[in-house]
Structure 1
Amino acid sequence: MKGKGNEKFAFIRRSFWIYLCAFILIVGVITGWLLSKDGIPEGVNYSQITDDNGVVLHMVQTNPSSISLNSINDNVVQSETNGINGGFFWENQLLSIAVMDGMPANGSPKEYGSGWYNVKYDRGTIVYDRITRMLDVQRAASVDDLHMTDATKFWAQGGVSMSIKDDSRWYNVAVQEERLPFPDDERLRSAMAYDNSGQIYLIVTSTKCTAEQFRNAIKRNVAVGNLNEAIFLDGDGSSQLLAGNVQLKGDSRKVLQMIVVNGQ
């Protein structure tokens, strides 16, 4: 009887380690599935492209339903949240539209600096209508100027129009009308774009370039043959990206708002 008891105990002990190893393996598989591609959320794609003009583009591709517009007052990398920097700001005031479902990212509706306004100018703003699931760029000074199906079911990110389909007038629109800062300086750049299929592209450079060089690199490399429209976002030291293990800190400054990629 004693021998049978020892055999039973040994069997249980062996089984325990087998089940423990299986459990650890399953947990590892699930964790790898949830945080695939070295920490990049499921349904999100990251790529790096170097254009012929030397501009290095870091690009995150996702669905518009996976986008959130958040106020962070932190460096994007330090926030530990996948995404890129958002629109223009000054100290604790947002100078670009950043609204989710009727609520600005940095305060209350119609409050200055909250993300309700593109301050001073009608500027290019990407709007995603959650009802129609359509994207477009609207030039607006305020959320009140935007068009959507339901004022509680949309997001809108402001910047400066890139006018992808208008090579003859884009510079005049971006610089003379919408006042893109430092267009001819070589600086880090950021952008938000979308294609004809409704995919969003968040783009940040790790090389300094002019606005024209940046725009040309995007036209030649992003959703080639299918790119619909884009806007310039804040740039220079504010150009920041976190995509899993890929970290672009800009000049390490804090930004007020970022475009978060949540995944599926």
Structure 2
Amino acid sequence: MKREANERLAFIRRSTPFYMCVFILILEFVSIWIIRNDNIPSNVQYSQINADNGVILHVLQAEPSRISFNSVNDNVVQSGRIGINGGFFWEDQLLSIAVMDRIPTNGGSKEYGSGWFNVKYARGTIVYDRVTRMVDVQRAASVDDLHMTHTTKFWAQGGVSMNLKDDSNWYNVAVTEEGLPFPDDKRLRSAMAYDNSGEIYLIVTSTRCTAEQFRTAIKINVAKGNLNEAIFLDGDGSSQLLAGKVKLKGDSRKVVQMIQVIE
């Protein structure tokens, strides 16, 4: 009897590594299955960051070639497309630049509300040059003010300059010069950023915060040590994100434009 018990114990000890390997493989398979069923493209990374100042950031990271602008006139969550809200708008008029290869997102070239203009202000606009594959921020009132290598090989998303490298003057530029709405109110916030290698970060909060708190959380926590620059996008009820099972619908309102991440 004792011998049989010892043999069973020895068998269990020999078998444990095998069953552990099987268990790990099953976990990996389940994890991959869950990720695939979240419908997040394999070349897109989603992360949630809990910043030290209490701001919770939801971040989509992708190459600039994976970025697309769409006129959705819907809530981002309801659109079923992976991405976040875009620029400022009023009713069905887009008030921020949103152009793909010189084609505005919400109408014709040079039309008011089409995405050709940053209405009222020259504002921070992230531009991706498809020829040089470089990303930068340019202050512009319209697409005509932007600089790129080829006039039909770029995209541009307007917002409000965040000026991550200028802690002493960013607020004056954002609020006084570029008209950032409600900077000191605690509201939901959205942003677009890029790092030194040109990777794009689409960022939405699920906590209400001031513009300064939002900027600080991004500067310290996103692409640590490698973040280059960012712009504020439309916020509060318009701050929306869809990333698989992560659904932030703001106040359920419809937005005119969204920034989509594509395969």
Q: TM-score, normalised by structure 2?
A: 0.87
SS at match of 1:52: coil
Is 1:238 equivalent to 2:218 in the alignment? no
CA drift at 1:37: 6.8
One-letter amino acid of the counterpart of residue 44, structure 2: V
Q: Distance in 2 between matches of 1:181 and 1:191?
A: 14
Q: Deviations for 1:139-173, whole angstroms, at most 9, x for unmatched residues?
A: 00000000001111100000000000000100000
Equivalent residue number for residue 227 of structure 2: 227
SS at match of 1:237: helix
Unaligned ranges ≥5, structure 1: 1-28
Equivalent residue number for residue 210 of structure 2: 210
One-letter amino acid of the counterpart of residue 76, structure 2: V
Aligned pairs for 1:106-145 within 5 A = 106-145=106-145
One-letter amino acid of the counterpart of residue 201, structure 1: Y
SS at match of 1:49: strand
Is 1:250 equivalent to 2:250 in the alignment? yes
Q: Distance in 1 between matches of 2:36 and 2:165?
A: 35
Aligned pairs for 1:15-26 within 5 A = none
One-letter amino acid of the counterpart of residue 125, structure 1: T
One-letter amino acid of the counterpart of residue 237, structure 1: G
SS at match of 1:172: helix
CA drift at 1:57: 0.2
Is 1:103 equivalent to 2:103 in the alignment? yes
Aligned pairs for 1:1-264 within 5 A = 36=36, 38-263=38-263
Q: Distance in 1 between matches of 2:65 and 2:169?
A: 31
SS at match of 2:204: strand
Q: Distance in 2 between matches of 1:188 and 1:228?
A: 23
Give the percent of matched residue pairs that are identical in Structure 1 and Structure 2.
78
Q: Distance in 2 between matches of 1:195 and 1:53?
A: 22
SS at match of 2:215: helix
Matched pairs, number? 233
Equivalent residue number for residue 21 of structure 2: none
One-letter amino acid of the counterpart of residue 254, structure 2: K
Q: Distance in 1 between matches of 2:171 and 2:216?
A: 12
One-letter amino acid of the counterpart of residue 97, structure 2: I
CA drift at 1:36: 2.9
One-letter amino acid of the counterpart of residue 247, structure 1: K
Q: Distance in 1 between matches of 2:244 and 2:66?
A: 16
Q: Distance in 1 between matches of 2:164 and 2:212?
A: 11
SS at match of 2:175: helix
Q: Distance in 2 between matches of 1:60 and 1:47?
A: 7
One-letter amino acid of the counterpart of residue 101, structure 2: D
Q: Deviations for 1:195-215, whole angstroms, at most 9, x for unmatched residues?
A: 001100000000000000000
CA drift at 1:42: 1.4
Q: Distance in 1 between matches of 2:121 and 2:39?
A: 38
Q: Distance in 1 between matches of 2:158 and 2:36?
A: 30
CA drift at 1:38: 2.1
Q: Distance in 1 between matches of 2:63 and 2:36?
A: 17
Q: Distance in 2 between matches of 1:246 and 1:196?
A: 27
Q: TM-score, normalised by structure 1?
A: 0.86
CA drift at 1:183: 0.1
Equivalent residue number for residue 16 of structure 1: none
Q: Distance in 2 between matches of 1:137 and 1:37?
A: 35
Q: Distance in 2 between matches of 1:189 and 1:131?
A: 32
SS at match of 1:39: coil
- Runs of 4+ in structure 1 over 6 Å off: none
CA drift at 1:39: 1.5
SS at match of 2:108: coil
Q: Deviations for 1:15-59, whole angstroms, at most 9, x for unmatched residues?
A: xxxxxxxxxxxxxx9xx68x7372111100000011111100000
Q: Distance in 2 between matches of 1:49 and 1:207?
A: 12
